[in-house]
């Protein structure tokens, strides 16, 4: 992507969705093993064609993402992103696939992103179909409920979110992915629409006509619009982002130890300001540093930012209109804040 001209060039092999095409919904056991995969064309069925159970009785409904390697470069005005299933020269392991196992950081073959916005039942944050997503809680409360699923379960982490962003941006060769997936539930105040509306699509993505209703990207329903979602493993202090890979030490308002400063400062004092450029890196993800774009140019998504100790929320709510999107980021809230349009989701 050339920042000066806001133009894109596709590079690399023709099979540029070789990794994305392996993303698939599954029902995950507590220990992280797959109970069963869902049918690629309809999540209402298992892969073998028998009826699935998406209520949580068989486990959380998740989207499996295979381990891969990345190369992120900035040369002058050009930011480039490459992904590979094998470790080619200049590529590093996507940091999402180094996971804390209770003793040390280990390489894992898959990561699991939620299929649905989070719902709390029995003190656990779940990814299940047919429910109204839980909102109006603090990030600390959601964090506890996510970890109540068992070892290795936690809120969506910053590294994993950036993995999904990178895969999506590369697939469409564009930062403004709403042009391809639709705007989603982005108009009104009907926050937290019932989960599972994308079940009939299975692992497939929505299209550009999915406006004022759900959207889905390769099994990840309402990745943006509808409600904002908390992101863990990142804290912000006076516009500096600090990232933590060790889920067991996720905590708010911490800027030392496992929380390591990444990237330059986030653009200061933004208020529904459209992102024009991000600082990009393999280990820091996408850090919005310049605003002044529009909903049809550059990143096309909005940033809110404020000084002091802040937490991160992404995606946009039903009342944010065209500024909702995959890159939308809200870093003005303190850790004690909760809102009717903010939820969270579990990952592993």
Q: What is the pLDDT of residues 75-119, one digit of tens each?
A: 999 999 999 999 999 999 999 999 999 999 999 999 999 999 999
Cα separation of 229 and 313, whole Å?
Answer: 5
Among 316, 277, 321, 272, which residue's Cα sits nearest to residue 297? 277
Q: What would the pLDDT profile of 152-188 be if each residue is shown by its tens digit?
A: 999 999 999 999 999 999 999 999 999 999 999 988 8
Strands 302-305 and 329-331: parallel
- CA 259 centroid distance within chain: 19
Work out the pLDDT band at 13, boundaries 50, 70, 90: confident
User: Which structure tokens are listed for 264?
Assistant: 């330059």
Place of tokens 């982490």: 157
Average pLDDT of the chain, as a whole number:
96
Question: CA-CA distance, 87 to 107, in Å (whole number)?
Answer: 14
Return d(Cα 211, Cα 228) in angstroms, integer: 17
CA–CA distances in Å: residue 306 to residues 250, 267, 312:
22, 9, 11
Distance CA 125, CA 345 (A): 7
| 244 C-beta neighbours (distance < 10 Å), count | 22
pLDDT of residue 12: 83
State how far the Cα of 115 lies from the Cα of 290, in Å rounded to an integer: 31
Residue 38 predicted with pLDDT over 90: yes
Report whether 227 contacts 199 (CB < 8 A): no
Give the model's confidence band at 322: pLDDT under 50 very low, under 70 low, under 90 confident, else very high.
confident
Residue pair 312/230 in contact (Cβ under 8 Å)? The answer is yes
Measure the CA–CA gap between 347 and 341, rounded to whole angstroms: 20
Distance CA 348, CA 146 (A): 10
Taking 80 as the threshold, does the pLDDT of residue 14 lie above it? no
Q: Tens of pLDDT along 222-255?
A: 999 999 999 999 999 999 999 999 999 999 999 9
CA 277 to chain CA centroid, nearest Å: 19
- Least confident interval from 6-15, 51-60, 149-158: 6-15
Q: How many residues does the chain have?
A: 348
Could you tell me if 138 and 336 are in contact, meaning their C-beta atoms sit under 8 angstroms apart? Answer: yes
Q: Check residue 240 and give its pLDDT.
A: 98
Q: Which structure tokens are listed for 324?
A: 């909702």
């Amino acid at each position: 992507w050339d920042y000066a001209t806001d133009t894109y060039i596709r590079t690399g092999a023709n099979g540029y969705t070789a990794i994305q095409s392996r993303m698939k919904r599954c029902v995950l056991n507590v220990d992280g093993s797959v109970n069963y995969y869902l049918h690629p064309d309809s999540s209402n069925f298992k892969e073998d064609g028998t009826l699935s159970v998406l209520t949580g009785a068989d486990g959380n409904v998740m989207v499996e993402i295979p381990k891969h390697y990345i190369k992120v470069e900035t040369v002058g005005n050009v930011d480039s992103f490459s992904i590979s299933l094998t470790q080619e020269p200049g590529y590093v392991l996507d940091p999402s696939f180094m996971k804390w196992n209770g003793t040390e950081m280990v390489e894992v073959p898959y990561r699991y992103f939620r299929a649905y916005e989070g719902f709390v039942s029995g003190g656990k944050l779940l990814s299940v179909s047919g429910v109204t997503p839980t909102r109006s809680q603090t990030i600390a409360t959601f964090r506890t409920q996510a970890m109540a699923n068992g070892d290795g379960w936690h809120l969506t982490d910053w590294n994993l979110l950036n993995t999904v962003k990178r895969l999506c941006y590369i697939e469409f060769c564009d930062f403004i992915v709403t042009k391809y997936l639709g705007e989603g539930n982005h108009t009104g105040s009907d926050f937290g629409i019932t989960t599972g509306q994308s079940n009939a699509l299975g692992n497939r993505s929505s299209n550009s006509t999915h406006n004022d209703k759900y959207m889905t990207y390769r099994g990840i329903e309402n990745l943006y619009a509808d409600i904002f979602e908390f992101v863990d493993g990142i804290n912000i202090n006076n516009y500096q982002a600090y990232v933590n890979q060790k889920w067991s030490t996720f905590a708010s308002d911490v800027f030392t130890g496992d929380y390591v400063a990444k990237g330059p400062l986030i653009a200061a004092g933004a208020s529904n300001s459209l992102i024009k450029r991000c600082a990009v890196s393999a280990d820091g993800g996408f850090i919005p540093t310049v605003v002044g774009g529009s909903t049809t140019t550059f990143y096309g998504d909005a940033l809110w930012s404020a000084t002091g100790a802040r937490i991160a929320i992404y995606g946009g709510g039903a009342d944010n209109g065209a500024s909702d999107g995959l890159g939308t980021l809200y870093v003005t809230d303190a850790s004690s804040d909760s809102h009717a349009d903010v939820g969270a989701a579990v990952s592993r």
